[in-house]
Amino acid sequence: MERSLQLLCRVLAAFIGTEQESGRDRKLPVALICLGGPGGCADKGLASQDLRRRPSSAAVTPPGGQSSDGLQHRVCFTMGSLGQSNISALRVDTTELAESLHESCQYGAAHRYGKLSTETGMARLSLDDSDKEVRDWFMRTAKSLGCKTFFDQMGNLFAIRPGKKENVPPIMMGSHLDTQPTGGRYDGILGVLAGLQVLKVLNENSVETEGPIGVVNWTNEEGARFPKMAVSSGVWAGAIPIETAWELREVTPHEGKPKSMKEELERIGYKGERPASFDDNPFAAHFELHIEQGPILEDEDLKIGVVEGVQAFKWFDITVRGRDSHAGTTPLYARKDTVLSAARMLVAANAVAKKHDGLSTTGIFNADPGTVNTMAHTTKFTLDLRHVRNEVLATMVKECEDEFCRIAQEDSEQGCEVEWSLLVDSPAVQFNEECIAAVEQSASDVCSTLPGASSRKLWRPMISGAGHDSCYTNLRCPTSMIFTPTRQGISHNPTEYCSAEDCALGASVLLGAVLRYDKLRLDRGDFN
Ligand SMILES: [Zn+2]
């Protein structure tokens, strides 16, 4: 009965994945043109997408074995006997994780900001020479830990530590080793390096897990060199065709003709034979440790974010068309002033976002023809709207449409035309409830020994503001994420920082979550 339920869940999950893929990263044609009269926009609002919850196949069983005999270092036990207290005894070492993280950052270190050797940022663009070097380092390190290593057609790297059961999908810990051109030492890097340290802890304590446990480094997560974010986990999930990915051309400064991803994968020797596909290379689950990249944990003096999902967002190009005319001779009542109109639209979008507890951002704003004493005939700007709930985001879009129409009819902006073009539509992501529960139990356990833990909880549930590889793995396997504090919330910046203690705390939560999920697989009969 339970197995048939699981099968049904997998079929449902596959269906959900296929459906979701159609709405992701698709460049859509002009969605709405507003030419004036009130109500002109009303019936052309963009459809919302439902918040999709991954079906849950079984309730989480708390890890058993409440024995109080404490630490059992360097004894051989199987997960059958590895109960709560033994899982709790396993911790990732602060110094070892910090040293290995900074060792990996020798490849691509850039943008010095302090005197210490670790006080630099990173410029390790996907598939460049420094990325090849860190990949070689990753493969060497994983082999030294006794892992089976391989890479696929997108250059995604896999390191698998065997479990008791062979030929079953592994639980994977994944993130990315590529960075922004002016990036830091933690975004993505922490998740991969923590994964390797987790495997080291399992080795040193002779822990034999039921199923295999592995680490994955996803190629070009940042989308900084090849302009598609998380493209290689997207290919693995079947959401992005491999030809589309291979043909992406570099956008960062380069010599000669921009190179494609495929050319660069071949050049550095990381275009594998194995298909980049969940079908060929399935996971039992995917856990991603990542820095928060925002200020919430630090502001609330908390240590761990238990990430339950990722907020929805939509990106638009907005074009306002009016008329260029002389600044000195055109009275205010006779103008079609697109800059004034667009400026008021930004203020209106901000008010809509505030009202719904969402976010509104304009990062690009251009006016034509661009002279001091002429009104611009055309103003273009981008609009990025976000909310944790799809239906509220749809309401925000509708209210912005109505407000923009109204503004285009008023005062010196009267008669302007507003044109909306949808660039990206990314629905909210809800992570798997069992994975979230495994992270939550682990966070509660790891934080319980910290100073201050007796008076308050040092972790909290969170929604991610940014997209990650986990959004794609979530389409194909149970997934969740763990956040660590980020100094001043600063990321994508050389000074990005998470203390060695907080990194290790996050890695220990990752370790506990993976072991709990492995136990869950055994308890619910995944291996029968
Ligand atoms: Zn990242």
> Per residue in 103-131, pLDDT tens?
999 999 999 999 999 999 999 999 999 99
| Bridging pattern class, strands 365-368 and 378-387 | antiparallel
pLDDT of residue 415: 83
CA 402 to ligand 1 center in whole angstroms: 36
Instruction: Using CA atoms of 92, 85, 76, 173 in order, give the dihedral in degrees to the nearest 10.
Output: -40
> What one-letter code names the amino acid at 231?
V
CA 485 to ligand 1 center in whole angstroms: 14
> Per residue in 275-332, pLDDT tens?
999 999 999 999 999 999 999 999 999 999 999 999 999 999 999 999 999 999 999 8
> Per residue in 156-168, pLDDT tens?
999 999 999 999 9
Give 383 or 16, the one with higher predicted confidence: 383
> What one-letter code names the amino acid at 246?
W
pLDDT of residue 286: 98
CA 366 to ligand 1 center in whole angstroms: 30
CA 120 to ligand 1 center in whole angstroms: 18
Task: Match 């997209």 to its residue by tokens.
Answer: 467
pLDDT of residue 410: 83
pLDDT of residue 80: 53
> What one-letter code names the amino acid at 521?
R
Q: Which residues, other chains included, contact 104 with Cβ-Cβ below 8 Å and sequence gap of 6+?
A: 134, 137, 138, 177, 189, 193
Residue 32 in this model has a pLDDT that exceeds 60? no
Q: Both tokens of residue 241?
A: 């065709």
Q: Which residues surround ligand 1, an ion (CB under 5 A)?
A: 187-188
CB 281 within 8 A of CB 275: yes
Q: Which residues, other chains included, contact 146 with Cβ-Cβ below 8 Å and sequence gap of 6+?
A: 161, 203
Residue 36 in this model has a pLDDT that exceeds 60? no
CB 356 within 8 A of CB 395: yes
pLDDT of residue 474: 98
pLDDT of residue 12: 40
CB 414 within 8 A of CB 26: no
> Per residue in 278-293, pLDDT tens?
999 999 999 999 999 9
CA 220 to ligand 1 center in whole angstroms: 10
CA 166 to ligand 1 center in whole angstroms: 31
> What one-letter code names the amino acid at 125?
L
In the three-class reduction of DSSP (H, G, I as helix; E, B as strand; rest coil), residue 250 is classed as coil
CA 64 to ligand 1 center in whole angstroms: 34
Mean per-residue pLDDT of the chain: 86
pLDDT of residue 6: 47
Q: Using CA atoms, how far apart are residues 293 and 484, in angstroms rounded to an integer?
A: 9
Share of the chain above pLDDT 90, in %: 79
**pLDDT bracket for residue 82 (50, 70, 90):** low
CA 382 to ligand 1 center in whole angstroms: 23
Residues paired with residue 481 on neighbouring β-strands, in sequence order: 288, 307
Give 346 or 12, the one with higher predicted confidence: 346
pTM of the model: 0.80
Average of per-residue pLDDT across 367-384: 96
Q: Which helix (H) or strand (E) holds 314?
A: strand 312-321
CB 481 within 8 A of CB 410: no
> Per residue in 387-432, pLDDT tens?
999 999 999 999 999 999 999 988 656 789 999 999 888 899 999 9
Share of the chain above pLDDT 70, in %: 83
Residue 360 in this model has a pLDDT that exceeds 50? yes
CA 418 to ligand 1 center in whole angstroms: 35
Q: Which residues, other chains included, contact 62 with Cβ-Cβ below 8 Å and sequence gap of 6+?
A: 84, 441
CA 465 to ligand 1 center in whole angstroms: 12
Q: Both tokens of residue 441?
A: 């139990």
pLDDT of residue 193: 98
CA 290 to ligand 1 center in whole angstroms: 7
CB 24 within 8 A of CB 426: yes
pLDDT of residue 39: 29
pLDDT of residue 333: 87
Among 253, 204, 203, 200, which residue's Cα sits nearest to residue 224?
253
In the three-class reduction of DSSP (H, G, I as helix; E, B as strand; rest coil), residue 121 is classed as strand
CA 175 to ligand 1 center in whole angstroms: 7
**DSSP assignment, residue 301?**
T
Q: Using CA atoms, how far apart are residues 319 and 381, in angstroms rounded to an integer?
A: 7
Residue 62 in this model has a pLDDT that exceeds 80? no
pLDDT of residue 86: 85
Residue 498 in this model has a pLDDT that exceeds 50? yes
Q: Which residues, other chains included, contact 528 with Cβ-Cβ below 8 Å and sequence gap of 6+?
A: none
CB 54 within 8 A of CB 286: no
Average of per-residue pLDDT across 456-482: 96
pLDDT of residue 413: 62
Out of 33-42, 252-261, 262-271, pick the least confident.
Answer: 33-42
CA 270 to ligand 1 center in whole angstroms: 21
Residue 69 in this model has a pLDDT that exceeds 90? no
CA 176 to ligand 1 center in whole angstroms: 6
Q: Using CA atoms, how far apart are residues 62 and 317, in angstroms rounded to an integer?
A: 48
Among 313, 314, 461, 440, which residue's Cα sits nearest to residue 388?
313
